[in-house]
Structure 1
Amino acid sequence: MSLLGNLLCTGCDRPGRAESSVMGDLLHSDDLARARDGDDTAFTRLVEPLRRELHAHCYRMLGSTHDAEDALQDALVRAWRGLPGFTGRGTLRSWLYTVATRTCLDTARSRGRRALPVDLGPSSTHAVLGDTPLTDVAWLEPFAEQPGAAYEQRETVELAFVAAVQHLPANQRAALLLFEVLGFSAAEIAEVMDTSTASVNSALQRARRVVAERVPVPSQQRTLRMIGDARLREVVTGYATALERGDAEALVALLTEDVTWSMPPLPHWYRGLDAVVDFATRVPLSTCGSWRHVPVTANGQAAVAAYLRGDTAVEHTAWAINVLTLRGDRIAEVTSFIGAAHFAAFGLPTALP
């Protein structure tokens, strides 16, 4: 209920906060007992409120929306089968995170880490025409905004953070996320990972050092708050309009001097205003076709979904999710995640008129 709703309800015949909590605990216990007896509907009621945050945790671990969904489904099957072994010593939420983390560790160890083009080699100084996708690389994927996500939750799915933790071994990645994001103690993490508390503390020390070197300050959440919604809309609209009109001058006005532009799964990427402008003027601003853009939020950041219509096409088709990383009120990074497969997670159509 909203604050206004609470004020209007003063004196109404409704349970108080403590009474509601007790009622919720009783319903939770009843569903837990039913689920242990094989009631899958009761199990669904238990886990459904936690599904979004568990999916976000799997994404942080794996760097892929699709891998995260697969891992979550696998984890929930494991949890369903292992529910009779849940003793109730901790919360169901903590236990589900334990199951999900172990599932993600299995996946991470078998598939390796996700990468961006900047991880594979130096930047290109001029536009590479006819660049072809690298299909043997596991690429980082964008993460669709979760409605109502808290400030801290958005920070921990920002592109720089997720990309940084991908550079950690799987056990360090899990330890860092459980400790820094979810608030597990070192002793609890040791139990999750079947290791010692000393090993966890050592892993945390190494992980923090790697991430601190790779994650810029301030975070995108802080940057977006500092520039305000009005200026953010101007930047996003200006970027989309410049692409749609083929206006290089308008695009340049929005970029930092050291801007980067990468386009997974294409391996080549560009750093610095000269290289980025050379690429932009020779490819998206002139030779691709007609663009249309839809503002979205990806990884807690400003983004636009780009639709492209070729010269002989009759409609604009899904092309890329462009995630914009800002420094101040300028664009410091454009990461264009190419592929129509990304659009479904954002609830977007695959074509526009």
Structure 2
Amino acid sequence: MRVKPPFETVVRDHGGSVFRVCCAIVGAHDADDAWSETFLAALKAYPDLPADANLEAWLVTIAHHKAVDITRARARRAVPTDTVPECPGPRTADFDDLAAAVEELPPKQKHAVAYHYLAGLPYSEVAGLLGGTAAAARRAASDGIATLRRTYLDMRGDTP
């Protein structure tokens, strides 16, 4: 019979990958909050988790839900400003930073890239998080990487 490791070990072993996913999904500004919320929720649910569960996939699923919550809350938050523009201008991205380039990806691509490349989840589990098939998750991740290569690397003058 398999025994679950202490929760402290779970945090130590998977905290880094969960943080990378949180950074990719909600950005560096809110990543700490998403990470904390993920592990608070995980701590509450951990006693009922089966001993043979895939801990990393379970934690990334929780992180996904917390990131969605933070993204929704951010969309409802007022943004203070000194002046109100007559009409909003186009959004510009700072492509000097990879995180900004990832932030500009469409949500499904951004999530697929984060879950597969940063958390190391197989496409079948990415599909479970995003909805759809493993092939669709693979395509979204591939499209996201291709977009990052075009935008981020080209803007830096690097070649892929």
TM range (shorter): 0.5 to 0.7
Q: Which residue identity does 2:127 align to in structure 1? A: A
Higher helix share: 2
1:74 deviation in Å?
Answer: 0.9
Specify the alignment match of 2:90 in structure 1.
Answer: none
Q: Is the aligned partner of 1:216 residue 2:153? A: yes
Deviations 1:153-198 (A, max 9, x none): xxxxx96321111112333211111222333221111122343324
Specify the alignment match of 1:54 in structure 2.
Answer: 18
CA, structure 1 residues 159+86, in 2 after alignment: closer, same or farther (shift >3 Å)? farther
**Distance in 1 between residues matched to 2:151 and 2:63, nearest whole Å:** 26
TM-score (normalised: structure 1): 0.34
Q: Is the aligned partner of 1:199 residue 2:136? A: yes
Q: What percent of counterpart residues are identical?
A: 22
CA, structure 1 residues 159+80, in 2 after alignment: closer, same or farther (shift >3 Å)? farther
Specify the alignment match of 1:68 in structure 2.
Answer: 31
Higher RCO structure, 1 or 2 (CA under 8 Å, sep 6+): 2
Correspondent of 1:94 among 57, 66, 85: 57
1:205 deviation in Å?
Answer: 3.7
Specify the alignment match of 2:103 in structure 1.
Answer: 166
Q: Which residue identity does 2:128 align to in structure 1? A: E
**Structure 1 counterpart SS, 2:104:** coil
**Distance in 1 between residues matched to 2:125 and 2:65, nearest whole Å:** 13
How many positions carry a matched residue from both structures?
142
TM-score (normalised: structure 2): 0.68
CA, structure 1 residues 161+100, in 2 after alignment: closer, same or farther (shift >3 Å)? same
Q: RMSD in angstroms over aligned alpha carbons?
A: 3.4
- Identify which range, 161-170 or 100-109, moves more after superposition: 100-109
1:183-194 map, 5 Å? 183-194=120-131
1:68 deviation in Å?
Answer: 0.8
CA, structure 1 residues 159+100, in 2 after alignment: closer, same or farther (shift >3 Å)? farther
Higher strand share: 1
Deviations 1:202-222 (A, max 9, x none): 4224322321221217x9xxx
**Distance in 1 between residues matched to 2:49 and 2:57, nearest whole Å:** 11
Deviations 1:3-50 (A, max 9, x none): xxxxxxxxxxxxxxxxxxxxxxx8xx35x4xxxxxxxxx423431343
Correspondent of 2:112 among 144, 164, 175: 175
1:4-43 map, 5 Å? 29=3, 32=5, 42-43=6-7
Task: Provide structure 2 residue ranges, at least 5 long, that are not aligned to the other structure.
Answer: 76-80, 84-92
**Structure 2 counterpart SS, 1:215:** helix
Specify the alignment match of 1:292 in structure 2.
Answer: none
Task: Provide structure 1 residue ranges, at least 5 long, that are not aligned to the other structure.
Answer: 1-25, 33-41, 113-131, 135-139, 141-157, 220-325, 328-353
